[in-house]
Amino acid sequence: MTHMPFGLRNATSAFARVMAHVISGLEDCVLTYVDDFLVFTKPNDFDVHLDALKQVFERLRKFSLKVSPKKCVLGSTKMHFLGHIINSSGYTPSVSKVEIIKNLEAPTSVKEVRRVVGMASFFRKHIQNFSMIAEPLTRLTRKENFFKWEEEQQKAFDKIKEILTNEPVLTFPDYSKPFHIFY
């Protein structure tokens, strides 16, 4: 068999484990998510990037894995990856994904509220205090509550849309500086 049958219940997790094994030792320059992977290096060092690509291709060959050339983007300084735009400055939500959220109408049912919260939650890293902002919306999804869209929910809905449409950029960590962990 040369393809993973993705209809199987455990296919995704099995393939993710295989990819983790395949790229083991290359985590400093490769991100994977199921069958998508991104090879990255520091900006302005193309030779280092070529070396990283060579290592990845050699590893794929070693495990008899193939990539589709038409799905590959090589040597780019800007990349669309898993709903985000990634460049040397950091990463932002993809414009197309933000447009979908921006154009949403206010929910009219619990099912629609769950959908909105789920979509926004995908970008929760970009929204400081997301849980607090979204709380009026998530409160509506509790079984003991009846659906009643009020000003509080509208404000939360509008705030999430506003933050995401202002292209919040998350920067990459500077590993040369100390990290402070607060809990």
pLDDT single digits (tens) 142-152: 888 888 999 99
113 falls within a domain: yes
In this structure, the answer to whether residues 112 and 159 fall within a common structural domain is yes
In this structure, the answer to whether residues 70 and 112 fall within a common structural domain is no
6-37 confidence digits (pLDDT tens): 567 777 788 888 888 888 999 888 888 877 88
Domain span at 144 = 95-165
In this structure, the answer to whether residues 44 and 101 fall within a common structural domain is no
| Count: domains in the chain | 2
Decide if pLDDT at 68 tops 80: yes
In this structure, the answer to whether residues 101 and 161 fall within a common structural domain is yes
Helix ranges restricted to H, 23-150? 46-62, 95-102, 110-121, 130-140
In this structure, the answer to whether residues 16 and 60 fall within a common structural domain is yes
Domain finish residue from 76, 104, 127: 76
Q: Which residues contact 34 (CB under 8 A, 6 or more apart)?
A: 12, 15, 16, 19
In this structure, the answer to whether residues 63 and 119 fall within a common structural domain is no
Tokens at residue 45, please?
Answer: 């060092």
In this structure, the answer to whether residues 106 and 158 fall within a common structural domain is yes
pTM, rounded to two decimals: 0.74
